[in-house]
Amino acid sequence: MNYEKFCNQLIELVGGKENIQSVTNCMTRLRFKLNNRSLAKTEEIKELPDVIDVVSNDVAYQVIIGTQVQDIRPEINQILGLSGEGNQSEPAEKENFVTMALRVLSEAMGPILIPIMAAGLLAGILSLLSLTGLVSAESSTYMILDAIRQSVFFFLPVLIAISFGRQLGVNEYLAVTIALTMMSETINGAAGLDFLGLKLPETTYSNSFFPIILSIIFMKYVGKALEKLIPKAMQYFFNPVLTLIITLPVTLILFGPLGMYIGDGLNFVFDFIGGTFGNWMVVMLYAALQPFLITIGAGNFIIPIFMNSYATLGYDPVFTAAWIVSDIAVCGAVMGYFFRSKDKKQKQLFGTTAFSAFMGVTEPAVYGVFVKYRRPYIAVMIGGGLGGLFAGLMNVVGYAPVSLFGIASFIGESNYRNFYMMVIAVIIGFVGAAVAAFILGIPDDEKIKEKQVEPVGSNAEAVTKLLIKAPVKGKNVALSNVNDKAFSSSALGKGLGIEPEEDTIHAPVNGEIVSLFPTNHAIGIKTEYGVELLIHIGINTVELEGQYFESFVKQGDKVSVGDAILKADMAGIRNAGYDPVVITVITNTADYLDVLPTSDPSLNNNEDCLTVVV
């Protein structure tokens, strides 16, 4: 176990074994399903040497690692005692249907991508071998190797059955049995079939995508119903066969046609867009915006769309070309920074992440460079947008889902123009992003003030996060629970509340008093880094007209962390019928990537309560 120490550290920091329901992975990230996300120590996880970043959204708690995730995830599962892709125990908190669907779709797509990408790359290699004459397309060698590619797409329902069955807690072998039955000679594409006198539509299930997904979802609910209806002593014998004989007819009668209608509907949408506006618009937008989708962990959501295109059309008119152009634009943007930077450490970062992006893995560049400097997003919008625009206008289509190294697959069956146009689009994307990044420059590069991963107060030359101390001792109150809509809605900025246990308010940062209300119930502080804080004592306490409040500072004063700045008679405020909660918000939250409140239930005024992610 090469990553045993790292895995144990990570398990502890996400809240321990008992807080983990399941662990899955895509090409570069671990996706945790946690019982309680507030137990995860996100900032500490980010400090681990193998971690690039952490993304937490409605889909999953995602730890970005890199391509070594393929080795790390099995080790974590071994330590946790989980088999396969994760633990199929019921979630501690009930998920709504949309959240569950997005999570399952995202997590189930990752494993399927591995053989699909391999088949796509193989298609590119075979195209090159055939083009150069090294291997004839009519030879047995070519046909044997091509059988791998054909099998991956022909038996796609089987791969989907395994992955979705695993994610939904359905017996994988029963799921595969349904998929194989759908693809059998008796059913697949057969005409004139009926079930108990009910005529079945002629449906081709090989290469299909949606029918098997609908079938596995239905199978999950059939299994749950049978567990309630069948006595436990008889479930082992009867539940599997009943699951199959109930699921299969419903699939053939309902889900097969419905899945095909969904696929045809998607094709109609893109035909309409192409006929009305042109596919170039979608290709351009996706090539320009893909890094944003990666940042929020939504990169897998296009998979059903382009897989449906391959299954029904035999090619993808939009996304394959777009993501390759976008990937190479990411590489170009980081290379632009590589040539612009004069700092050796930066050059090493830009060089390694550029190589990773060139290989088709862009997360290290996105989380290691883009999130940090922001301007590369603009560079990719320019370069990727131009490359995507060209590919779209030239009607470039993908014949296999591949990365840059499978670009030869764009030849298809002797479609050399398609290949040449794709090569030009890739060049435009790379050069455009590289030049744009070079011109946009690295923020404060000359003064070496790019934000390093160090907290304020260290001897580091600059920062990526600013730590805000608690202004008063007391109990942590989530901002959303504060009884004031202006604060609870975060309209005034992100932050937190503290139920005070003392009367003195201390400066949470080094900075300047930029505002002090005449009633002394609220005070504004600006730090040397530009962070603007508002400390507001109590709800509607302005009505007290300064009673119970005393100020130790005036506007324009400089303060240091821990200095006493205000005093409030908390008991008097309570007795007057007011809530004395002390609210601290970052009023210029929009200037930063995020403001993260601590999850500690109680705070002292020498403890960090907010992290401003620069």
Predicted confidence (pLDDT) per residue in 473-517, tens digit: 999 998 888 887 767 877 678 899 999 999 999 999 999 998 888
Q: How far is CA 160 from CA 12, 42, 153, 263, 275, in A?
A: 32, 32, 11, 16, 32
Question: Tokens 């600013």 correspond to what residue?
Answer: 466
Indicate the burial class of 479 (C-beta count within 10 angstroms; 0-12, 13-18, 19 or more): buried
Which range has highest mean pLDDT (89-93, 237-241, 399-403)?
A: 237-241
pLDDT per residue over 304-335, tens digit each? 777 778 777 778 888 889 989 999 999 999 99
- Whether the CA torsion 423, 425, 428, 434 is positive or negative: it is negative
Of residues 350 and 109, more confidently modeled: 350
Neighbours of 407 (CB within 10 A): 21
What average pLDDT does this structure show over 300-304?
69
Q: Which of 212, 245, 193 is nearest to 311 (CA)?
A: 212
Give the Cβ contact number of residue 37 at 10 Å. Answer: 17
Phi-psi region of 597 (alpha: psi -120 to 50; beta: other; left: phi over 0): beta
Confidence at 87, pLDDT banded by 50, 70, 90: very low
HEC per residue, 331-369: HHHHHHHHHHCCCHHHHHHHHHHHHHHHCCCCHHHHHHH
pLDDT at 423: 94
pLDDT in tens, 559-570: 999 899 999 999
Catalytic residue annotation = 26
Q: What is the predicted pLDDT for the residue at 100?
A: 60
Rounded to whole angstroms, the Cα distance separating 517 from 440 reads 41
Specify the pLDDT at position 591: 75
Q: Which stretch of DSSP H or E encloses residue 533?
A: strand 532-537
217 Cα distance to chain centroid: 23
Confidence band for 295, pLDDT divided at 50, 70 and 90: low
If we measure between CA atoms, which residue out of 286, 371, 299, 289 comes closest to residue 60?
A: 299
The predicted structure's pLDDT at residue 59? 58
Encode pLDDT of 14-52 as tens digits.
988 888 888 877 656 788 888 888 888 888 888 887 787
- CB-based burial, 385-397: b 16+ in 10 Å, e otherwise: bbbbbbbbbbbbb
Residue-averaged pLDDT of the chain: 82
The 10s digit of each residue's pLDDT in 52-61 is 778 776 556 8
pLDDT at 38: 84
CA–CA distance, 87 with 83 (Å, rounded to integer): 7
Q: Are 426 and 407 in contact (CB under 8 A)?
A: yes
- Whether the per-residue pLDDT at 296 is higher than 80: the answer is no
Write out pLDDT tens, residues 193-219. 888 888 888 888 887 778 888 899 899
pLDDT value, residue 454: 39
pLDDT at 420: 92
With b meaning 16 or more CB within 10 Å and e meaning fewer, what string describes 156-177?
A: bbbbbbbbbbbbbebbbebbbb
The residue-averaged pLDDT of 115-131 equals 80
pLDDT for 353 equals 82
Mean pLDDT over residues 227-256, rounded?
Answer: 89
Where is pLDDT greater, at 140 or 366? 140
Q: Rg (Cα) of the chain, in Å, rounded?
A: 29
Percent of the chain with pLDDT strictly greater than 90:
25
What are the φ/ψ torsions at residue 413 (nearest 5 degrees)? -100, 80
State the Cα–Cα distance between residues 105 and 300, nearest whole angstrom.
8
Give the model confidence (pLDDT) of 274-289 as tens digits: 667 777 888 898 889 8
Q: What is the DSSP letter of 458?
A: S
> Would you list the DSSP string of 134-167?
SS-TTSHHHHHHHHHHHHHHHTHHHHHHHHHHHH
583 pLDDT band (50/70/90 cuts)?
Answer: very high
Q: Which domains does the chain have, with CATH numbers?
A: 4-92 (3.30.1360.60), 101-272 (no CATH), 277-440 (no CATH), 465-613 (2.70.70.10)
